[in-house]
């Protein structure tokens, strides 16, 4: 492992957290694992003898400070982020280190942008499949544009076996919204009681035309407008995946390869329009949870190397050179960007 300061993974024992720890170790980055369950952390450390264990609950500021002491950065992958985001980012601020999280919760991300706008160290929320990847694709598709009339992000998932963390975070969001749905239109988040509507989306081949849930709203509606003048941001989800998520008996992901990935495949298809001109960007890969690991770890490495476009609080598309970042994710991700 590297002799430089370690990266702390908070929530390391969770499904996504384990992928992130594995990616850090694969890149030779010293790793500290943290979270509230000391026994589970110890069990993980028994598998990976070169990690350091520092248990901490989000309700214990002193323990969080001990967990982050001397670290280079922290990646928070412990949901629900409505609960963990504030305490962990505040601990990162006290430690004077960058903070990255993988939050998909719309309200938690909106709160992060609202509450920590004055951050002086890098803070990158939603550095994950939802929120971060879509934002990078939209930013890359827009290129030199600083504004567009609308941005569409269509998620073509072959299936969706949600983790326990996904279900818990979804329940928190559902309760915070009072069961309402959310959209980003006319430059603002709007809550409503309209029923979900199905439509067709023409994905690139071989996926082709698929039925999607329109306004299946994800964290892109927070990340994209945080730095781009796009008054309409809409996201879509293939019907099959949405039904998987809605069913209570859908099982958790099961590994099918040596990396621990499931057999789920995805296509993220982005379309931006400005003044009648359209631009498109597409990403393909395997396992939405697994792809979050190289996204988050690449972000931390670039921040620590100074390969950033801004500082303080920023989304992925604002913090990094979007096209270069996406291309660096090969072979984890296959991308097609405008020339």
With 0.75 as the threshold, say if the pTM is over it: yes
Q: Do 90 and 150 reside in the same domain of the chain? A: no
Residues 59/145, Cβ–Cβ less than 8 Å: no
pLDDT the model gives residue 216: 95
Grouped pLDDT means (10 residues each) for the chain, 339 residues: 76 97 96 97 93 97 98 97 96 98 96 96 98 98 96 97 91 83 92 92 92 96 98 97 94 96 97 97 98 98 98 97 97 92
In this structure, the answer to whether residues 255 and 296 fall within a common structural domain is: no
pLDDT of residue 4: 58
With respect to residue 34, please indicate whether it lies within any of the assigned structural domains.
yes
What pLDDT score was predicted for residue 171? 86
Q: Are residues 125 and 151 in the same domain?
A: no
Output the domain CATH number for residue 248: 3.30.360.10
Q: Which of 203, 225, 336 is CA-nearest to residue 281?
A: 336
Do the beta carbons of residue 176 and residue 163 sit within 8 Å?
Answer: no
User: Residue-wise over 91-102: b if at least 16 C-beta within 10 A, else e?
Assistant: bbbebebbbbbb
> Are 229 and 215 within one domain?
yes
- The angle that helices 15-26 and 164-176 make with each other, rounded to 10 degrees, is 120
Amino acid 2: pLDDT: 43
In this prediction, residue 173 carries a pLDDT of 84
Q: What is the pLDDT of residue 1?
A: 44
Residues 162 and 306 occupy one common structural domain: no
Q: Are residues 275 and 300 in the same domain?
A: no
Give the pLDDT confidence score for residue 100 in this predicted structure. Answer: 98
Whether 223 and 98 share a structural domain? no
Q: How many helices and strands, by DSSP H and E, does the chain display?
A: 12, 15
CATH number of the domain encompassing residue 18: 3.40.50.720
Is 134 in the same domain as 123? no
The range of the structural domain enclosing residue 252 comes to 130-287+330-336
């Amino acid at each position: 492992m590297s002799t430089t300061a370690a990266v702390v993974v908070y929530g390391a024992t969770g499904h996504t957290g384990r992928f992130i720890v594995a990616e850090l170790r694969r890149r030779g980055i010293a790793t500290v694992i943290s979270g509230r369950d000391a026994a589970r952390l110890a069990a993980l450390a028994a598998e990976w003898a070169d990690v350091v264990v520092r248990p901490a609950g989000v309700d214990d500021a002193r323990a969080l400070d001990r967990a982050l002491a001397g670290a280079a950065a922290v990646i928070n992958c412990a949901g629900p982020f409505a609960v963990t985001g504030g305490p962990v980012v505040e601990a990162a601020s006290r430690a004077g280190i960058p903070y990255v999280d993988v939050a998909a919760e719309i309200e938690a991300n909106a709160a992060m942008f609202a509450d920590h706008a004055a951050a002086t160290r890098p803070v990158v929320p939603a550095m994950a499949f939802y929120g971060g990847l879509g934002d990078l694709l939209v930013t890359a598709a827009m290129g030199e544009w600083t504004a567009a009339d609308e941005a569409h992000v269509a998620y073509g998932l072959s299936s969706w076996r949600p983790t326990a963390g996904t279900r818990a975070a979804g329940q928190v969001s559902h309760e915070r919204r009072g069961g309402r749905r959310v959209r980003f239109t006319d430059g603002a988040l709007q809550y409503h009681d309209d029923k979900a509507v199905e439509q067709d989306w023409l994905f690139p081949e071989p996926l082709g035309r698929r039925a999607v849930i329109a306004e299946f709203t994800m964290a892109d509606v927070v990340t994209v407008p945080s730095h781009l003048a796009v008054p309409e941001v809409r996201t879509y989800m293939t019907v099959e995946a949405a039904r998987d998520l809605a069913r209570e008996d859908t099982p958790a992901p099961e590994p099918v390869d040596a990396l621990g990935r499931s057999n789920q495949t995805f296509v993220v298809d982005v379309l931006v329009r400005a003044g009648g001109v359209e631009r498109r960007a597409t990403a393909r890969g395997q396992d939405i949870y697994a792809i979050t690991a190289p996204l988050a770890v690449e972000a931390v490495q670039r921040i620590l190397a100074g390969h950033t476009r801004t500082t303080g609080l920023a989304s992925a598309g604002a913090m990094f050179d979007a096209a270069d970042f996406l291309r660096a994710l090969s072979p984890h991700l296959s991308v097609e960007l405008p020339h």
